[in-house]
Structure 1
Amino acid sequence: MNLYKLSLHEVNKAFEKLGCDKPGTKILAKKCDVHTIYIKNLHVGAANILKQDALSIGADLAVPMGVIVAREPYVDAILIANSKQLEVLSVKERAQPFGLKAIAKELKSFLFTKQAPTKIMGIINANEDSFFKDSRFNGSNAVKRMEKLIHDGAQIIDLGAVSSRPGSVAVSAQEELSRIKPILDTIKIEKLYEKATFSLDSYAPDVLKYAMDCGFSIINDITGLANNEVAKVAAQYDATVVIMHMQNDPRNMQDDPHYEDVISEVHDFFQERIEKAHSFGVKKIILDVGIGFGKTLEHNLKLLKNHEHFRYFGYELLIGASRKSMIDKIVPSDISERLPGTLAIHLEAIKNGASIVRCHDVKEHHQAIKVQEAIQSNL
């Protein structure tokens, strides 16, 4: 007799090898996928009901001492359940009082669909003050670089002309456009948008319009649709919008950033901006937690550890930590030495729900991601 533990990635293949039928395999796989969900400000009556309902189906709810005698009117709790049990609870709690009907709807949102295939977004900067000098290009050099990034494995090219590094100051829309207009014109003339998807890292409406007319289809907005005019442009061109979270702005975002609960606050920000996007008719959305944008190392690490949570909204997640200073805070290193740390962060983010990786080093990421996919595949 021999026993060994299966990874979640191997269970479907193992069930198939056993000879289980397909409907049975689907049910069994849901039982293997365990969720741990933190619930804040739960009515004590709801906590007692949810605890009993969870236990009745083999799940559990961790609650503070004193809940059974209603010592406090509202409490926090942690639900531990597999996907099958979440399905049951999301139905069962609809008929219960104390706000459990709303909880039931929330629980259903954690039954994530299959993660989208990983895509690499290569970075091109058309400004002289971007934080990583090796990503700076202009004119014909920028186009050659784009073609190389596409050859190396980038499905998306993200072009920017304004630095967003800590302490940077924004420039006028006229200056921004003057920096990238020759590149945009070349992309349009040579129809490079037929070889890859093009994204503009900007929040200037007129610049974005020009890019959309040149074949761009993604708006990478570090302000997260703060400007209504950007939302209007996105809707007009049926563009995809990357909604990124940032506390304050690049000038002061790293001046002692503070959160009561970074996961909850980023969640609330996404909730608000998604609703705003929908109100303007924006349908295609990507979410970016904004690693390094108004966050300490602790905040960044917590967001990475809990990255899968943000799949709750049903949109693809982008991760962008390429060569950022959080790596230096873990292992002292110059920006030119941060590729290994970047790969570690991005591969972990992919495991935790990210499907778009924004990076400077496309070829290295392509290799690392393909190896990771081979390890996790059912081959």
Structure 2
Amino acid sequence: MEKYINVNGKLMDLNTPQVMGILNVTPDSFYAESRKQTEEGIINRVNQIISEGASIIDIGAYSSRPFADDVSPDEEMSRLRKGLSIIRKEVPEAIVSVDTFRSDIAKMCVEEYGVAIINDISAGELDKEMFPTVAQLGVPYILMHMKGTPQDMQANPMYDNLLKEVFYYFSEKLAALRDLGTKDIILDPGFGFGKTIEDNYKLLNNLQEFSIFDLPILVGVSRKSMIYKLLGTTPQEALNGTTVIDTISLMKGANILRVHDVREAVESVNIFREMKEQN
């Protein structure tokens, strides 16, 4: 099935995999090099994301790493206003996604700053107004699977049947969203969110099965613990593992790669595309 999303009134072709560059305006994201809080740091990161070939900037102001501290709505909004103001000044044409689970913040970002996509790690679980808000705003929505909250998701995640539970979760959420009239939905299996290392690799091994939903698939594994804990290293040493998993994901049907390291992900996409064109 052909996959497109309506972004700011234009169709984005996801049949060609796209790269989403991460901009963390937080003091505590798990990968230290990704934290940008000064104006200069944000400007440099935004320009790096665009120059290295990403088609989407994903800005987040609430760290969703395991056991992260809670951030008040006012603090999250303040961080986002600063970051989004800089993006709009530096690269006004950029397609921006906001990583938030709060409906009022999603609404502010879309209406005041022209944010094009809402990326919600909680799939509406942490704010019951998120689904109606996204439907009203009419923007693409990234629906991610997470078991629990960022504060407790990795305490002791357990599943009777991982794939069955994730599929059922998505089916229920999709029905609710479609009842509200939401059209452009992207699925994110939620690597690292309420899952053991084994769970994450089971998801990866079965990623192609998500094609049953006929929706674009986003994969976000960049420098996560499923890589560095398996290999006995650190987030700083997890770029090679990230590239390996990104490439596997592309071969299993991923449409968007959400990454810290844009250049390397774009290279993976270009190699994958060249291979596919030789069929």
- Of residues 312, 322, 347 in structure 1, which corresponds to 2:222? 322
> After the TM superposition, which residues 256-275 of structure 1 pair with which residues of structure 2 at under 5 Å, given as runs?
256-275=156-175
User: 1:346 is matched with which residue?
Assistant: 246
- Of residues 168, 176, 186 in structure 1, which corresponds to 2:86? 186
How far does residue 198 in structure 1 lie from its aligned partner after superposition? 0.5
Which ranges of structure 2 fall in alignment gaps of 5 or more residues?
A: 4-13
Verify: 1:136 aligned to 2:35, yes or no. Answer: yes
CA–CA distance in structure 2, aligned partners of residues 187 and 250 of structure 1: 27
Does the CA-based 8 Å contact 1:140-1:183 persist in structure 2?
no
Does the CA-based 8 Å contact 2:246-2:268 persist in structure 1?
no
CA–CA distance in structure 1, aligned partners of residues 242 and 89 of structure 2: 34
> Which whole-Å deviations, capped at 9, do the CAs of 1:349-370 have from their partners, x for residues lacking one?
1111111000000011111221
Does the CA-based 8 Å contact 1:222-1:246 persist in structure 2?
yes
How far does residue 161 in structure 1 lie from its aligned partner after superposition? 0.4
CA–CA distance in structure 2, aligned partners of residues 329 and 170 of structure 1: 25
How far does residue 331 in structure 1 lie from its aligned partner after superposition? 1.2
User: 1:173 is matched with which residue?
Assistant: 73
Verify: 1:233 aligned to 2:133, yes or no. Answer: yes
CA–CA distance in structure 2, aligned partners of residues 271 and 169 of structure 1: 31
CA–CA distance in structure 2, aligned partners of residues 270 and 242 of structure 1: 11
CA–CA distance in structure 1, aligned partners of residues 185 and 27 of structure 2: 30
Which ranges of structure 1 fall in alignment gaps of 5 or more residues?
A: 1-111
> After the TM superposition, which residues 82-101 of structure 1 pair with which residues of structure 2 at under 5 Å, given as runs?
none
The more displaced of 335-344 and 231-240 is 231-240
- Of residues 235, 247, 254 in structure 2, which corresponds to 1:335? 235
User: How many residue pairs get matched?
Assistant: 266
CA–CA distance in structure 2, aligned partners of residues 359 and 145 of structure 1: 13
Higher relative contact order (CA 8 A, sep 6+): 2
Partner of 2:122: helix, strand, or coil? coil
Partner of 1:254: helix, strand, or coil? coil
> After the TM superposition, which residues 52-91 of structure 1 pair with which residues of structure 2 at under 5 Å, given as runs?
none
Does the CA-based 8 Å contact 2:46-2:87 persist in structure 1?
no
The residue type paired with residue 206 of structure 1 is D
Q: TM-score, normalised by structure 1?
A: 0.67
> Which whole-Å deviations, capped at 9, do the CAs of 1:26-76 have from their partners, x for residues lacking one?
xxxxxxxxxxxxxxxxxxxxxxxxxxxxxxxxxxxxxxxxxxxxxxxxxxx
How far does residue 290 in structure 1 lie from its aligned partner after superposition? 0.4
> Which whole-Å deviations, capped at 9, do the CAs of 1:76-120 have from their partners, x for residues lacking one?
xxxxxxxxxxxxxxxxxxxxxxxxxxxxxxxxxxxx557721000
CA–CA distance in structure 2, aligned partners of residues 280 and 307 of structure 1: 27
Does the CA-based 8 Å contact 1:318-1:356 persist in structure 2?
yes
- Of residues 2, 13, 20 in structure 2, which corresponds to 1:121? 20
How far does residue 193 in structure 1 lie from its aligned partner after superposition? 4.6
Partner of 1:316: helix, strand, or coil? coil
> Which whole-Å deviations, capped at 9, do the CAs of 1:151-202 have from their partners, x for residues lacking one?
1010011000011001113211101011121222233345x351x3110000
How far does residue 277 in structure 1 lie from its aligned partner after superposition? 1.0
User: 1:248 is matched with which residue?
Assistant: 148
User: 2:55 is matched with which residue?
Assistant: 155
User: 2:271 is matched with which residue?
Assistant: 371
